Structure 1
Amino acid sequence: MIEPISNELNDLVLNGLRDSNGTIWTINPYFSSDWKFMAIVLGFNAPNSKHFCPWCLCTKENIGNKHKVCVIEKTMDQIKLKPPPGHVKSPLLQMIPLSHYVPDELYIMLRIWDRL
């Protein structure tokens, strides 16, 4: 079902969008949703798995560690070629960089509350 949308989005990212004046607009796609749907699109495991974070390689044991600085450690190329721990399938929208996946406020709020 998602293959036609994925192909069209990939074409837009690679070739841009040409308007009626002949101007080509570059497309920088972003993806925003709740955590569950984002996990499905990224081919991710469950939120209660050992490696639960779509962006870094932290584990459940690091949740309460206030000294660990979380940064985006994964890239879409890594996930496509050899999925890191936590990913069970290849991502559906591979043309969107991992840094352009944005969770809704609830996930961010819950992450902040874990740190407090």
Structure 2
Amino acid sequence: MTIDFAKDRPIYLQLVESICGDVIKGKLKPGDKLASVREFALESGVNVNTVQRVYKELEMMELTETKRGQGTFITTDDGVIHTIREQMKEQVAMQFITSIESFGFTLDEIIEVLKSKKGGN
């Protein structure tokens, strides 16, 4: 199963965000083992070197830890997961604000719409 990647952003960043999103949504849980680099490359349809970079980025973020001979695992540190959740929330919100402001809407208009939609999924 290959993934459709956005052309305007590096693939490795999209994969990092996807894994972070899976952790935030609970699809990946603390202590879960990630697929091997080769398995993940085959699943996602990308080069092994790209996956190695993804795993390196995740480890630098302290979201994962690699245990030699065992694999790569999601951290069990709730503080790290909470921090990444907050960072992603901020990032998504800023992308939304930037996008909607590009159409000429003011921040007050954006807030008004969000308040009207609160709880009205």
- Taking structure 1 as the reference length, the TM-score comes to 0.27
- Taking structure 2 as the reference length, the TM-score comes to 0.27
Structure exhibiting the larger radius of gyration computed from Cα positions? 2
Which structure carries more helix by proportion? 2
Identify the structure with bigger relative contact order (alpha carbons < 8 Å, sequence gap 6+).
1
